[in-house]
Amino acid sequence: MCNFNGKSNQVSKIVEVLDTISRDRTRTNLFKKYEQNALAFLVQRIPCWMSSDMLTAIGFCGSIIVAAAFVLALYFSRYFMLLGVLGFTISWFGDSLDGRVAYFRKKPRKLYGFTLDITFDWISTILIGFGYIIYTGGVWELLGYGFVVMYGWEMIIKLMGYKITGKYSIDSGKLGPTEVRIIISGVMIAEVILKGSIGYSAMLVCIILFIVNVTDTHNLLKIADEMDKKNLEKGDTQAQT
């Protein structure tokens, strides 16, 4: 365990660090409170030798496990779907802690970390979608493609929102990456209990993501339009003076 602060103020320091991290990444997700408490507990216990890049790699390995769970479920037993739940847990662990550990150790690499995080998030999404496609086959495999498209669309919205507003948020209302992991884990568990249910569950997930994306796109366009109007008014005022 790394002891970067005195024991007496360690907890308050962690709270301060987590608050600093969230200043440019507003969290509104459903499990925000529980997730932040868990991260505050875990970030103090990450070994000194484990770097942020290692945590990113661990998170990515979790996504590989999820993709592998689909393939193993197809060729061996659908009970391997339960391996996907473990994969999502590992993915959450690495993906959630890599940046926070860097801030806790006062060695943040904001631009580097942001670029690395987005890149591996996208590759992870493709892998999981590909795993689903392999498992389902037929017409249902289109939903795997749909999931990748919907999640990619949401990532673009968030990046454009960052460009327009200067604030980066990974949540859409009460729905965030953690909630998506929990939902897909539930879908995989349901498939173990009731074979064939995954297609209908995936359809519901895609519909939800589509509604969320349309809503977020509309809201972002509205913000962008208002900012454009203010800039035009400001330009006209400057021209008159």
Q: What CATH number should be reported for the domain holding residue 107?
A: 1.20.120.1760
- For each of the chain's 241 residues, which pLDDT tens digit applies? 555 555 545 556 655 656 655 555 667 777 788 888 888 888 888 898 999 999 999 999 999 999 999 999 999 999 999 999 999 999 999 998 888 888 777 787 888 888 999 999 999 999 999 999 999 988 888 999 999 999 999 999 989 988 898 887 887 878 888 899 999 999 999 999 999 999 999 999 999 999 999 999 999 999 999 999 988 888 766 555 5
Beta bridge partner(s), residue 61:
none
On whether the CB atoms of residues 203 and 183 are closer than 8 A, the answer is no
15 within a domain of the structure (yes/no): yes
2 within a domain of the structure (yes/no): no
**Which DSSP helix (H) or strand (E) runs through 231?**
helix 197-240
240 within a domain of the structure (yes/no): no
241 within a domain of the structure (yes/no): no
Which structural domain, as residue segments, surrounds residue 68?
8-233
The pTM of this model reads 0.85
25 within a domain of the structure (yes/no): yes
Based on the structure, what is the number of domains in the chain? Answer: 1
Buried b (16+ CB within 10 A) or exposed e, 150-186: bbbbbeebbeebeeeeeeebbbbeebbbbbbbbbbbe
**What is residue 172's three-state secondary structure?**
strand
In the numeric block, the tokens 């998506």 are attached to 180
223 within a domain of the structure (yes/no): yes
137 within a domain of the structure (yes/no): yes
